[in-house]
Structure 1
Amino acid sequence: MCYETSLSKKLKSIEKHTGAVMRYPEVYEPWYHLSGFTHPNMFCIPMDEPDIILPMEWGLLAPWADDISTFRKKYNTLNAKAETLLTSNMYKEASRERRCLILADGFFEPHYEKMSGPATPYYCYLEGRKLFSFAGIYNTYDEDYWTVSLITREANDFFAEIHNKKKRMPLAVDRNFEGEWLDPDLNDNGIEEVLATSFMREPFKAHPVTRDLYKRGVNTNTPEILEKVEENPNHF
């Protein structure tokens, strides 16, 4: 699972890196910690317009969702599993017709020293906290209202040590595969191949951060939330 991310880059840096333009620049705000459970906007490059960046509300709404509040209470669609993407009634249409790249410069995963104890959040990032993208799928629920799910898959050896309970990881797409994920001509076999082979080749780094990340009523959208803490001696 992946329910928390960061995107702290300035808008000009994002546009330069992606070669895409933010359609609604007035709504973009950098963040150091964003929780999917608040259903915030993520910033995404859609398959049908790969030269723009759109705000998409985190948590895909199904086309048949009549009442948003009722749907959100019944379904957690922050993540979509790669293994069932093409067979799930919730996700299969979007996976074939509405794929996207979700922009980020880091994300947080829970690590358990003891499986019965509390989790310590780990911040995961590339060297220099470079910008990258997750594989995502989206729906257009209403005009100018997009919703998105972030795709996860079975963890590799590195992330299995960090996310050591459920052993999942978000599908961070290697830059060489970003164009393939957005290719409108990709068939089911091609989708499955990208899901299986496109994970970031560049190694991730990770370190423990404060458990305040999980507390209510604490402002976690600060640079300090990314700082390494010493309560856990491990460093991946």
Structure 2
Amino acid sequence: MCYETSLTKTSRQIEARYGPMKVPMLYEPWYHVSGFVHPNLFCIPMENPKEIYPMEWGLIAPFGERDVLSFRRKYNTLNAKAETLLTSKMYQVPTRERRCLIIADGFFEPHYKNLKGSATPYYCYLEERKLFTFAGIYNEYKPDYWNVSLITREANSLFAEIHNKKKRMPLVLDPDFEGEWINPDLDDNDIQEVLATSFMREPFKAHPVTRDLYKRDINTNTPRVIEEVEDLGNLFDR
């Protein structure tokens, strides 16, 4: 699972890497945001790969459009599992027809020293906190209102150590596969191959951050939320 991200770069830095924002006035950098408040993520859609669109986090299926609040109480669509994308009634159409890139520069995963105890959040990022993209799928709920799910898959060895309860990780795309994921000519076999082989080749870094990230009524959109904290038994110090 991946329910929390960061995107701390300026709009100018993002546009220099990925192209213009369709609705630039909606963008503000963030150090931490939770998917459970359904924020906008900034995404490059398959149907218009030269622009960046704001998309509300949490895909809405067509059958949920009449009552979005009820739909979201029943279904958590912040993430979509790579293994079932093409068989899920919820996700198979957007997987075939509406794939996207979700822009970020970091994300947060829970680590458990004791699998029955509380979690320590770990901040995960590339060297120099470079921009990257998650694989995503999206729908258009009504004109100019998009919503998106972030794709996850079975964790590799690093993220199995970090996210050691669920052992999942977001599908961060290697730059060589970004264009391929939003290629409209992919068939089901092509999609499966990209899902299986496209994870970022560059190594990730990770460090423990404040548990305030999990508390209510605390502003977590501050620089301190991504600063490393001392965590006895840090899994990288073994």
TM-score (norm 1): 0.99
Residue 96 of structure 1 aligns with which residue?
96
Once the two structures are TM-superposed, the CA of residue 102 in structure 1 deviates from its matched residue by 0.2
Pairs within 5 Å for 1:121-136: 121-136=121-136
The question of 1:49 aligning with 2:48 is answered yes
SS of residue paired to 1:17: helix
2:6/2:107 contact within 8 Å kept: yes
Once the two structures are TM-superposed, the CA of residue 234 in structure 1 deviates from its matched residue by 1.7
2:161/2:235 contact within 8 Å kept: no
Residue 68 of structure 2 aligns with which residue?
68
Distance 1:102 1:63 in 2: 21
SS of residue paired to 2:9: coil
The question of 1:232 aligning with 2:232 is answered yes
Distance 2:47 2:34 in 1: 27
1:206/1:235 contact within 8 Å kept: no
Give structure 1 regions of 4+ aligned residues with deviation exceeding 3 angstroms: none
Opposite residue 51 of structure 1, the aligned amino acid is K
1:207/1:235 contact within 8 Å kept: no
What is the number of equivalent residue pairs in this alignment?
235
Opposite residue 2 of structure 1, the aligned amino acid is C
Superposed CA deviations along residues 96-133 of structure 1, whole A, max 9, x for unmatched, are 00000000000000000001110000000000000000
2:177/2:198 contact within 8 Å kept: yes
Once the two structures are TM-superposed, the CA of residue 235 in structure 1 deviates from its matched residue by 5.3
SS of residue paired to 2:52: strand
Distance 1:16 1:176 in 2: 18
Distance 1:36 1:223 in 2: 19
Distance 2:118 2:195 in 1: 31
Distance 1:234 1:116 in 2: 18
SS of residue paired to 2:63: coil
Q: Which runs of 5+ in 2 are unaligned?
A: none
Once the two structures are TM-superposed, the CA of residue 147 in structure 1 deviates from its matched residue by 0.3
Opposite residue 30 of structure 1, the aligned amino acid is P
Superposed CA deviations along residues 25-77 of structure 1, whole A, max 9, x for unmatched, are 00000000010000000000000100000000000000111200000000000
The question of 1:36 aligning with 2:38 is answered no
Opposite residue 52 of structure 2, the aligned amino acid is I
Residue 215 of structure 1 aligns with which residue?
215
Distance 2:140 2:62 in 1: 8
SS of residue paired to 1:153: strand
Once the two structures are TM-superposed, the CA of residue 17 in structure 1 deviates from its matched residue by 1.1
Residue 58 of structure 2 aligns with which residue?
59
Residue 159 of structure 1 aligns with which residue?
159
Superposed CA deviations along residues 158-205 of structure 1, whole A, max 9, x for unmatched, are 000000000000000000000000100000000000000000000000
Once the two structures are TM-superposed, the CA of residue 233 in structure 1 deviates from its matched residue by 3.8
SS of residue paired to 1:159: helix
Pairs within 5 Å for 1:57-206: 57-65=56-64, 66-206=66-206
Identity of paired residues, percent? Answer: 71
1:60/1:138 contact within 8 Å kept: yes
SS of residue paired to 2:177: helix
For the aligned residue pairs, the C-alpha RMSD in angstroms reads 0.7
SS of residue paired to 1:194: helix
TM-score (norm 2): 0.98
Opposite residue 159 of structure 1, the aligned amino acid is F
